Amino acid sequence: MAYPIKPHGVDASGMAPNPVLIAVLLALASPLSINIAMAGDDSPIEAAPVEVQATSLGEDSDEPVKPAATLNGRELSLKRESTMGELLKSIPGISASGFGPAASRPVVRGLDGERTRIMQNGVGVLDASALSPDHAVALDPIVIEQIDVVRGPAALRYGGNAVGGAINAIDHRIPQDQLDGMLGRGEVRYGGADTQRNAAAVLDAGNGLLAIHADAYGREANDLSIPGYAKIPSLRLATDQKGKLQNSDSHGSGGALGASVTLDNGYAGISYSTFDNNYGSPAESAVRIQQNSDRWDFASEFKDLGNIINRVKLRSAYTDYQHQEIEGGVLGTTFKNNGLESSLELGHANIGRMSGMVGYQNQNSTFEALGDEAFVPKSKTLSNTLYIYEELPVDLLRASDLKLSAGARVEKTSQDSQGGGKFGAALSRDFRPQSYSFGATYSLTPNWSLNSNLSHSERAPSYSELYANGPHVATGQFEIGDNTLDKERSNGIDTQLRWKASKDSFSIGAFYNRFSNYITLANTGRLVDENGNLGGTLQESQITSAPAIFKGLEGEAKFRVYEQIGALDLKLRGDYIRATNRDTGDPLPRIAPMHLGAGLDYQFNRFGAMLDVLHGFKQDRTAVNETSTDGYTQVNATATYLIPAQFHLEAFAKATNLLDQTIREHSSVLKDIAPLGGRSVLIGLRGEF
């Protein structure tokens, strides 16, 4: 089992809490006499890169298909942020919804909310984050060991709502590998624009048959320090003060216990985890959000089973989620989401040269909102799904130089509203989404490959899109759903050209996604109060559908430019997204501008240094009633040092926004009142045995 601070490790580590526990874990290294090889003085310490890889079956991954992008190892460890959105936005094509420093979901190719599926170990994170941008994802990045971003045909196995993509956070709280002995790791960090204080620790132990896992973490952060004023000039008040984003502090904690039986050809195990998070809303100075999620997971996978079914994977998670919005110390609205989600996959033996799998998924969940600002009724979602994914290598000029892939998914989904009061009578809607995809990867030469995918996706409307009717103060809207909505349909194509030679690589891709009825929230132009009557301050917004087009470019490259004394890599990346309402020709809201970035990564013996420069262009292609955002240049730097010791111990320092620029992310609902943090430095220490 590899951990993130090893010189050449590529598996990320899950992290978890308490400085005392970390000290205990590190102290255990000596009496246990665990010998871990250190990097030699003459060998550079290489960080694991963010890799863009072709989708393929049978790879050594937590998932049966290779993701479009994987973030793990030291790269993940050094990029850790407080939210999933901020962590992943360095990957081309991904931006962040950014509702302050404590709540941010990833936005994939301009698609967010219900169109980007976030999972934990292959099972959905059952929370309320897709309902509103002020609701944080109920998953702390500090415990994640690996993140897979999946697009193309493989995304179909995760659901029709993975139109933008599927993001799978892997924490290995259920051990999968045989372990004879004990392993531990820990981390502490301090600083940053929000003066965060984080600690995490994890312990794994086993006797070759039974493996156990324990982790815990804790984090605290102050109000975010910002350059200048929080609000743009047109919204600024004479009483506003510079330098701080008010009510943006946070604190959280959590942990997990897990155990599994590990055999030569598979494992079966169970885990319990808890997540607690408390943070302020920068949009409302007196509002705090208290989140709690308790989750039970079961997972099992066995391989090499026979000549017909050669692999079986079962995953299931029961989640009890609660989220309370507290204003001035008084409980306002409570959101609850609880339910069970399960998946069963059967990998079949090769049929000729064709390999693949069939699967079944089930979700049974109940969402409930209680209080004055409850804008959705109690609703039940029931979904049953069958899917299939197959790959076939074909010999053209060379052996297996063409690989064909295909996927299909058929769902039956019901959205039942309990109704009552302003929500009217109880109502049930049934949908049968069907999605298909076809792909091909052609190896032009041993170094060059071309990949292309065609897809048809259908998504059932969510309960909020169907039944919402009430004030949503966090976004300044009075939302009105449409219970007559049909399935959302889209057809897409994406193509990537890739090159790889030794330590150099290059990838550029384009995508085009055409929606026949893109479901969106449209401003009616009326100002209403919290009861929906004219004369208030809330923008009345109606859920509606319209034809739309999303298209864009993504690219990244890595080149080894020097390796005499140490090793120096040049990294390049960029993305561009354009989204348009086909009826009106108007741009869609909150679409990130073009980004271009370059970085240098130098490694020599125990030292490492990284410099990253990202330019975000001005976004003035805006939707109706949407303000533009200025361009910016963000400069970040990181330094690391691997401390000689019996166990691995690495110190690091991260400097962010060195130019101290005011950066407003166009994909954020709060871009006009909540910029990113100013110039700051964070220091940390990681250890393992």
- pLDDT of 376-391, one tens digit each? 999 999 999 999 999 9
Question: What is residue 488's predicted lDDT score, i.e. its pLDDT?
Answer: 94
326/77 Cα distance (integer angstroms): 33
The total domain count for the chain is 1
- Residue 544: which domain range? 19-688
Residues 6+ apart with CB under 8 A from 40: none
Half-sphere CA count of 71, side-chain side, radius 13 A = 22
Residue 7 falls inside a structural domain:
no
Cβ–Cβ under 8 Å, residues 668 and 11: no
Half-sphere CA count of 4, side-chain side, radius 13 A = 31
> CA gyration radius for the chain?
24
Strand, coil or helix: what is 666? coil
Question: What is residue 3's predicted lDDT score, i.e. its pLDDT?
Answer: 40
Half-sphere CA count of 264, side-chain side, radius 13 A = 2
Strand, coil or helix: what is 217? strand
Question: What is residue 160's predicted lDDT score, i.e. its pLDDT?
Answer: 67
Write the CA distances from 42 to 265, 604, 605, 608, integer angstroms: 39, 8, 6, 14
467/429 Cα distance (integer angstroms): 10
Question: What is residue 38's predicted lDDT score, i.e. its pLDDT?
Answer: 31
Question: What is residue 539's predicted lDDT score, i.e. its pLDDT?
Answer: 87
146/77 Cα distance (integer angstroms): 10
Question: What is residue 52's predicted lDDT score, i.e. its pLDDT?
Answer: 32
DSSP state of 582: T
Residue 5 falls inside a structural domain:
no
Residue 509 falls inside a structural domain:
yes
Spans of the chain, pLDDT less than 50: 1-64
CATH number at residue 275: 2.40.170.20
Residue 3 falls inside a structural domain:
no
Strand, coil or helix: what is 636? strand
Residue 71 falls inside a structural domain:
yes
Question: What is residue 657's predicted lDDT score, i.e. its pLDDT?
Answer: 97
Structure tokens at 440: 């091909």
Structure tokens at 84: 């999933």
Strand-strand pairing, 427-431 and 402-417? antiparallel
Judge residue 412's burial from the number of C-beta atoms within 10 Å of its C-beta, 0-12 exposed, 13-18 middle, 19 or more buried.
middle
Judge residue 575's burial from the number of C-beta atoms within 10 Å of its C-beta, 0-12 exposed, 13-18 middle, 19 or more buried.
buried
Question: What is residue 37's predicted lDDT score, i.e. its pLDDT?
Answer: 31
**Other C-beta atoms within 10 Å of 430: how many?**
11
149/165 Cα distance (integer angstroms): 7
Strand-strand pairing, 330-351 and 354-370? antiparallel
123/108 Cα distance (integer angstroms): 19
Residue 2 falls inside a structural domain:
no
User: Which own/partner contact pairs does 614-617 have at CB distance under 8 Å and 24+ positions apart?
Assistant: 616/592, 616/663, 616/665, 617/593
Strand-strand pairing, 284-303 and 309-327? antiparallel
Label residues 335-363 b or e (16+ Cβ within 10 Å = b).
Answer: bbbbbebbbebbbbeeeeeebbbbbebeb
Judge residue 261's burial from the number of C-beta atoms within 10 Å of its C-beta, 0-12 exposed, 13-18 middle, 19 or more buried.
middle
Residue 680 falls inside a structural domain:
yes
Structure tokens at 18: 């308490």
79/90 Cα distance (integer angstroms): 9
Residue 342 falls inside a structural domain:
yes
